[in-house]
């Protein structure tokens, strides 16, 4: 992550005005990140917050208990699969879920991803319970915002989009400006990430030499993961899609997975 004094607070941030604000949250098993926005302006942000705060808020009690206009929550999912909308039926969710190896402490969720695809994904009961403390709130698949953001920015057939949150790697590909591939992988080392990316490029019949990797999330150019990727893939860039006004110390690629949730407000 970029160096800045966190949590970030804009000088105009005032929780008495929360009824005008949107709270965006991305929750993992142990930590979460959040942003508070007003229209297209970032007012507050922090990352690597302990989920203990979602159980018994102390430091963030006032912030988490405020009455926001919108609350959009997403989970760092444990597994997902796409199903074409034209063949999707709610009665098929159980059979598709078997592909995800759903555990006894996990639930299966489904939603529209884009014009052509449904996404079926699983999430840990404990993480879902963290979200349930917020009412009313909207829960969305963590890739939905990213797909919307990328699709609005004329995705090239020569680009593969990578998003990193902790040890999770999302790989997204558009062909003819239509979503062609979405999958997520857990990786333990940069070599794992390189292996998964190479496997996907091979599956998509894309050349590593001619494909540009557009990366976002918790990755920076001075970190080992980025360096390892650059050593194997000659074309790699930070994804600079910017969805809101940001302070100079918060780069757009880092904020993208969270900011993209703002595109999911219904």
The Cβ of residue 62 has, within 10 Å, a number of other Cβ atoms equal to 10
Per residue in 32-43, pLDDT tens?
A: 999 999 999 999
Alpha helices in 44-92 (DSSP H): 52-55, 61-64
User: 1-78+121-144+241-266 with 154-239: one CATH topology?
Assistant: yes
For residue 2, pLDDT beyond 50: no
Q: 1-78+121-144+241-266 belongs to which CATH class?
A: alpha beta
Q: Report the distance separating Cα 114 and Cα 179, nearest Å.
A: 8
For domain 154-239, give its CATH number from 1.25.40.10, 1.10.1740.10, 3.30.70.1560, 3.30.420.260: 3.30.420.260
Contact 135, 247 (CB under 8 A): no
pLDDT of residue 221: 94
State the pTM of this model: 0.93
- Residue 188's nearest CA partner among 236, 141, 228 is 228
d(CA 34, CA 151): 24
Contact between 218 and 253 under an 8 Å Cβ cutoff? The reply is: no
pLDDT at 5 exceeding the cut of 80? no
What is the percentage of the chain residues whose pLDDT exceeds 90?
85
Residues with Cβ within 8 Å of 50's Cβ and at least 6 positions away in sequence, in order, are: 30, 31
The arithmetic mean of pLDDT across residues 108-127, rounded, is 93
What is the C-alpha separation between 194 and 116, in angstroms, rounded? 29
Region label for 205, one of left (φ > 0), alpha (ψ between -120 and 50) or beta (otherwise): left
Is residue 21's pLDDT more than 90?
Answer: yes
């Amino acid at each position: 992550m970029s160096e800045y004094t966190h949590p970030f607070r804009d000088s105009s941030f005032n929780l008495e005005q929360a009824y005008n604000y949107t709270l965006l949250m991305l929750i993992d098993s142990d930590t979460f990140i959040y942003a508070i926005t007003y229209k297209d302006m970032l007012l507050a942000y922090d990352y690597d917050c302990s989920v203990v705060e979602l159980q018994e808020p102390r430091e963030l009690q006032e912030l988490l208990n405020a009455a926001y206009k919108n609350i959009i929550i997403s989970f760092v999912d444990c597994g997902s699969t796409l199903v074409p909308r034209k063949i999707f039926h709610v009665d098929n969710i159980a059979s598709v879920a078997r592909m995800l190896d759903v555990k006894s402490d996990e639930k299966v969720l489904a939603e529209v991803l884009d014009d052509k695809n449904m996404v079926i994904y699983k999430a840990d009961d404990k993480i879902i319970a963290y979200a349930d403390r917020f009412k009313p709130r909207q829960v969305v698949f963590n890739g939905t915002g990213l797909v919307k953001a990328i699709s609005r920015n004329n995705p090239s057939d020569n680009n593969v989009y990578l998003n990193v949150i902790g040890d999770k790697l999302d790989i997204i590909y558009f062909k003819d400006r239509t979503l062609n591939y979405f999958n997520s992988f857990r990786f333990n080392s940069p070599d794992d990430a390189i292996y998964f990316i190479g496997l996907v490029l091979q599956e998509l019949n894309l050349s590593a030499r001619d494909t540009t990797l557009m990366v976002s999330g918790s990755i920076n150019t001075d970190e080992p993961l980025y360096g390892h990727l650059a050593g194997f893939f000659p074309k790699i860039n930070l994804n600079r899609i910017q969805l809101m006004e940001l302070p100079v110390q918060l780069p757009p690629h880092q904020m993208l997975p969270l900011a993209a949730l703002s595109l999911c407000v219904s």
